[in-house]
Amino acid sequence: MSSVFDVAGAVALVSTLLVITRTNAVHALLYLIVSLLAVAIIFFDIGAPFVAALEVIIYAGAIMVIFVFVLMMLNLGPRAVAQEHSWLRPGIWIGPAVLAAILAAEVIYTLAAANGPAETVAAPVSPKQVGDSLFGLYFIGVELASLLLVAGLVGALHLARAAATEDA
């Protein structure tokens, strides 16, 4: 395997461990975004650019917006303002910024190392082929991921209601 794969894998492991060990939800969310970007680089490096693009667009983009929205729902009440001010300290961004800079350097290195067009021949893919792939061979994985996301949103809503009744 290439050094890009090794470095992206190391960044993914470190940032995923930091997601698990952080007690602050915003810090964990920042490290989760870095972890998802590292996994996208791994997919790109092993020759799956479509999966890498989906990883960035769907998970690092759309799903993270949902998580931020859920965090906004959870932080109801007067203590939320003080907590948000503590999150805006510059020191909080050092860890994710360093890991993201490593990933950005890998992307630049990979793009600079590509001398000319790719060796594979790209062919257009219809939406029907994508749907057949997602809901054919990968049906159980897609359904489990969607069920997990719905369960997370329901749990966050339950926690937000419990927090709102405690603050009132």
Determine the average pLDDT of the residues in 139-147: 76
pLDDT(120) > 60: no
pLDDT above 60 for 64: yes
Rg of the chain taking only CA atoms, in angstroms: 19
- Summarised one tens digit per residue, pLDDT across range 147-168 is 877 887 787 777 777 666 766 5
If asked whether residues 101 and 149 sit together in one domain, one would say no
- 130 vs 134: CA distance, rounded Å: 6
Mean pLDDT of the chain: 78
Q: Which residue in this structure is represented by tokens 């082929």?
A: 129
Confidence class for position 53, pLDDT limits 50, 70, 90: confident
Give 79's contacts (C-beta < 8 A, 6+ positions apart): 167
- For residues 123-151, average pLDDT: 77
**Do residues 96 and 21 share a domain?**
yes
Rounded to two decimals, the pTM is 0.55
Helix, strand, or coil (residue 135): coil
Domain region containing 24: 3-120
Tracing tokens 């190391």 back to the chain, one arrives at 10
Q: Are residues 113 and 128 in the same domain?
A: no
Q: How far is CA 56 from the centre of its chain?
A: 7
33 and 59 belong to one structural domain: yes
pLDDT at 13 (0 to 100):
92
Q: What is the number of domains present in the chain?
A: 2
Distances (CA, A) of 42 to 2, 10, 25, 38: 10, 11, 25, 6
Between CA 45 and CA 48 the distance in angstroms is 7
Element (H, E) at 75: none
